[in-house]
A and B are shown apart, each in its own frame.
Chain A
Amino acid sequence: MNEKELQHFEDKITQEIRIEPKDWMPDDYRKMLIRQISQHAHSEIVGMLPEANWITRAPSLKRKAILLAKVQDEAGHGLYLYCAAETLNISREEMTDQLLSGQAKYSSIFNYPTLSWADMGAIGWLVDGAAIMNQVPLCRASYGPYARAMIRICKEESFHQRQGYEILLTLCRGSKEQKAMAQDALNRWWWPSLMMFGPNDDASPHSAQSMKWKIKRFSNDELRQKFVDVCKDQADILGIEIPDPDLKWNEERRHYDFGEINWEEFWSVIKGNGPCNKERLDARIKAHENGEWVREAALAHAEKRKRVAKEIINNK
């Protein structure tokens, strides 16, 4: 390793000067970024599936148009992130292969099923809410292309959260059955949403290094606490209850205390044993295989147009 280059790199990190694609960087920094950015991209792409499940069954044309726009945004977010990762010298094909072969991970929240329309509300409010909590600090990540992609994503994500909360608000102000649907969705999505922040700090192997390199700015537990604190009041406004008997205000800490997460479930879903792991991956593989002829045709068409253009020039 070149000591002078490493020193220069670390100075830039300390001085909050962004690292750009052609700058020298330690191999581990590059690897950590590729892992995090590609996982994040995969999460956006797989994250389209639970919601796509409800596009055809949205209760109104307005809700359907909104849901379509949201799912389209997620495809866009996946693309911003894949491009950011590609600046680190990994190809799109490699990343796609890693996802489809099961080698790469994505956020385990998307391995839970969407059973009712209220789940569209809970996903927007909680899942996108947790994502925003995670993502806003990433807008200041030390790697330029990642930070820029995150700025675009965060600008768009706010609509996702608000539309979800509004779905639940509408249900909670509706009939008894509708409010019960909202409560049921909160019951099922609350704990998996808390898991989105990752393992506790003492069990998170990459966190310390990631914070040292200023990729992450806050620890998993700090962000999780912040999320619980804002959600409690939002649940109160909806008039539904967070399914945690240990949730209560701690005047001394000026934070809400909350119950222990079921880490066994967390690790089990990560290892592939969640309710929908297989279904999600199968859907991605099928989409990729069914799109093969489209990709081939697009390339063949581009080739043909190039050839025709050349012939026209040669004949002049």
Chain B
Amino acid sequence: MNSEPLWEIFIRSKQGLDHKHVGSLHAADAKMAIENARDVYTRRMEGVSIWVVESKYIHSTNPDESESLFDPANDKVYRHPTFYELPDEVKYM
């Protein structure tokens, strides 16, 4: 059966904040996806702006590759400010 594609919904909860993924829904086209998202995800003033993206256009990392992708950051603690020990007398830093 020919069915309505799946869309991922992103909502900006207020001006100044990022759009954040909130869930998904089915709709025939982008306009309908936005209208449905308004009804499904913003019934209580949860948003001031909506993005919709057809799910098939989202590419993601594979959990099997997590180690090779993300573990290299583990041993680079020198990227964090707390790595550097400074005397207490040093102020404003």
Please provide the chain B residues from 47 to 83 with a CB less than 8 Å away from any CB of chain A in the complex: 60, 62-63
Stretch from A76-84, A170-178, A235-243 forming part of the interface with B: A76-84
Q: Tell me whether B4 and A295 are in contact (CB under 8 A).
A: yes
CB neighbours (8 Å) of A148 from chain B are 23
Known: A24-B63, A72-B43. A80 touches B23 (CB 8 A): yes
Interface 1/0 per residue, A50-82 and B, CB below 8 Å: 000000000000000000010011001001100
CB neighbours (8 Å) of A23 from chain B are 63
Known: A72-B43, A156-B44. A20 touches B3 (CB 8 A): no
CB neighbours (8 Å) of B44 from chain A are 156
Q: Tell me whether A93 and B40 are in contact (CB under 8 A).
A: no
Question: How many A-B contacts at CB < 8 Å in the complex?
Answer: 53
A86 and B43 CA atoms in complex are apart in Å by 23
The contact of B4 among A76, A83, A299, A305, by CB within 8 Å, is A299
A69 and B22 CA atoms in complex are apart in Å by 21
A302 and B54 CA atoms in complex are apart in Å by 13
A80 and B2 CA atoms in complex are apart in Å by 22
Interface 1/0 per residue, A136-171 and B, CB below 8 Å: 000000000000110010001000000000000000
A302 and B30 CA atoms in complex are apart in Å by 9
A76 and B37 CA atoms in complex are apart in Å by 10
> Interface size (A, Cβ < 8 Å)?
26
A143 and B62 CA atoms in complex are apart in Å by 17
A81 and B63 CA atoms in complex are apart in Å by 24
CB neighbours (8 Å) of A72 from chain B are 39, 43
Interface residue A287 (Cβ < 8 Å from any Cβ of B): no
Known: A299-B28, A302-B28, A302-B29. A83 touches B23 (CB 8 A): yes
CB neighbours (8 Å) of B63 from chain A are 20, 22-24
Known: A83-B23, A149-B23, A298-B4. A76 touches B43 (CB 8 A): yes
A149 and B22 CA atoms in complex are apart in Å by 9
Interface residue A301 (Cβ < 8 Å from any Cβ of B): yes
Known: A83-B24, A149-B23, A301-B28. A93 touches B60 (CB 8 A): no
Given contacts A20-B63, A298-B27, A305-B29, 15 further A-B contacts (CB under 8 A): A72-B43, A73-B43, A76-B39, A76-B41, A80-B40, A83-B24, A92-B26, A295-B4, A298-B4, A298-B29, A299-B3, A299-B4, A301-B29, A302-B29, A302-B32
The 4 lowest CB-CB distance pairs between A and B, nearest first, are A298-B28, A302-B29, A302-B28, A83-B24
